[in-house]
């Protein structure tokens, strides 16, 4: 399948990871920070509900036929489906389901929301079976990106023991700490360096919980 992963303006880490999963599944995958496609299936990675109000994103989704939305906005699937022309929204962690999602559709998959006969149907999400993953899909211009001084923020673990009201991490990933292996992290950083990335930061404010 031809699959375009669109991460408007900024390459999100999750979009890189999902791109690697789909690439290794044998799909023709391209990742871009621009609102463009090759006419196939689109995975739209959105990190903020404010992006739902962007007329450029809304127009882009409206003219496409096969759009799936993921990212932190998945915590508000009703809002996403109400604002964008999307076939489904991933409301949990996507690595284990993304291939089946694009190949078979959202029906009966865990952790998705979609319209079913005029009503929104949601299925409960499952945490990914293993946090170590294949090498991400790294766009050629990732080394030119600047997000608070870093080219990219990578993930070392998921979950947080805290319950800060301003933070979505416990709601999205749970309060149990799941960590990647050092080997998996190092292999990822080495590949990013080989592809021209010079500044890698660790995502989140809970780095001390790694390996907890």
* Tens digits of residue pLDDT in 50-108: 999 999 999 999 999 899 999 989 989 999 999 999 999 999 899 999 999 999 999 98
* Whether pLDDT at 212 is above 90: no
Give pTM, 2 decimals.
0.92
Across the chain, which distance is largest between two alpha carbons, in Å? 49
Residue 110 in contact with residue 92, Cβ under 8 Å?
Answer: yes
Residue 17 in contact with residue 133, Cβ under 8 Å?
Answer: yes
Distance CA 171, CA 140 (A): 33
- 26 confidence band (pLDDT: 50, 70, 90): very high
Distance CA 157, CA 189 (A): 15
144: its two tokens:
């030119």
**DSSP classification of residue 87:** S
Tens of pLDDT, residue by residue over 122-177, are 999 888 878 999 999 999 999 999 999 999 999 999 988 888 888 888 888 888 89
């Amino acid at each position: 399948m031809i699959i375009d992963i669109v991460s408007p303006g900024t390459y999100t880490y999750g979009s890189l990871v999902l791109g690697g999963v789909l690439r290794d599944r044998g799909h023709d995958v391209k990742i871009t920070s621009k609102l463009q496609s090759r006419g196939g299936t689109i995975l739209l990675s959105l990190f903020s509900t404010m992006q739902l109000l962007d007329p450029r994103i809304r127009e882009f989704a409206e003219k496409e036929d096969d759009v799936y939305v993921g990212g932190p906005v998945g915590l508000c699937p009703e809002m996403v489906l109400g604002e964008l022309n999307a076939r489904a929204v991933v409301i949990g962690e996507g690595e284990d389901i993304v291939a089946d999602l694009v190949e078979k559709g959202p029906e009966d998959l865990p952790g998705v929301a979609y319209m079913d006969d005029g009503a929104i149907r949601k299925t409960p999400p499952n945490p990914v079976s293993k946090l170590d993953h294949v090498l991400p899909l790294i766009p050629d211009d990732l080394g030119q990106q600047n997000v608070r001084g870093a080219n990219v923020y990578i993930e070392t673990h998921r979950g947080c023991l805290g319950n800060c009201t301003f933070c979505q991490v416990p709601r999205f990933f749970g309060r149990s700490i799941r960590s990647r292996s050092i080997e998996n992290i190092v292999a990822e950083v080495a590949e990013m360096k080989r592809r021209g990335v010079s500044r890698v930061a660790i995502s989140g404010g809970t780095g001390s919980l790694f390996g907890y």
